[in-house]
């Protein structure tokens, strides 16, 4: 079962992190945090039933190690592009990461120059720009908001001033 993520708030209700729902539940059960908003989802053990938190608040102040930039990673690019080839729209599990402007021609390894791409489109594009190859991008690449995760509607009241 793939559980949703939970928003972690500081004592002052400032968003500081996003973690998995299981981790959030452990923090609540151990007394490190309290649940602020719950999901309509329950986890069961042989002897107990637990409500899965959507938003938790830490009981002690945590100095946030805030990084304004989202870390660039293959997983992050795949998540941002929803596992879809950005040239033909095919969804697949064996996608590659393609430089829109090839590195050999001065293209940087950055959020704004990397897209997911299927093997066929990658071979067709080769060492050219999409315009030179006669291909179009479905969506222009950009830096994803908030750690690269989709924003949960339950988080809205807590991230009004945190959106990028």
Which of the 8 DSSP states describes residue 93?
A: S
Q: Which residues contact 112 (CB under 8 A, 6 or more apart)?
A: 141, 142, 143
Q: How far is CA 46 from the centre of its chain?
A: 33
At 37 the pLDDT is: 95
Write down the residue that tokens 């959030």 correspond to: 24
The pTM of this model reads 0.56
pLDDT, residue 32, reads 96
The Cα 11–Cα 56 span in angstroms is 10
Regions of the chain where pLDDT drops below 70: 1, 65-70, 145-150, 160-164
**Are the beta carbons of 93 and 125 closer than 8 angstroms?**
no
pLDDT digits (tens, 9 = 90+) for 108-149: 999 999 999 999 999 999 999 999 999 999 999 988 765 555
With vertex at residue 103, the alpha carbon angle to CA 99 and CA 104, rounded to the nearest 5 degrees, is: 135
Residue 2 pLDDT: 74
In the block, tokens 């002052």 appear at: 12
The pair of structure tokens assigned to 71 is 């870390």
In Å, what is the CA distance from 41 to each residue of 1, 2, 3? 12, 12, 9
Bin 53: left if φ > 0, else alpha if -120 < ψ < 50, else beta.
beta
Domain positions in the chain: 5-67+147-158, 74-133
d(CA 73, CA 70): 9
Give the pair of three-digit tokens for residue 28: 């609540």
């Amino acid at each position: 079962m793939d559980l949703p993520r939970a928003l972690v708030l500081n004592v002052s209700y400032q968003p500081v992190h996003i973690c998995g729902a299981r981790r959030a539940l452990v923090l609540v059960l151990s007394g490190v945090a309290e649940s602020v908003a719950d999901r309509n989802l329950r986890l069961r053990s042989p002897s107990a039933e637990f409500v899965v938190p959507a938003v938790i608040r830490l009981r002690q102040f945590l100095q946030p190690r805030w990084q304004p930039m989202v870390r660039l990673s293959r997983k992050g690019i795949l998540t941002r592009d929803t596992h879809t080839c950005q040239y033909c729209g095919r969804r697949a599990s064996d996608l590659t990461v393609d430089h829109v402007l090839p590195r050999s021609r001065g293209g940087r390894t950055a959020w704004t120059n990397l897209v997911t791409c299927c093997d066929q489109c990658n071979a067709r594009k080769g060492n050219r720009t999409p315009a030179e190859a006669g291909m179009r991008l479905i969506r222009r690449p950009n830096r994803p908001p908030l750690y690269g995760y989709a924003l949960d509607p339950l988080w809205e009241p807590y991230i009004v001033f945190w959106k990028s």
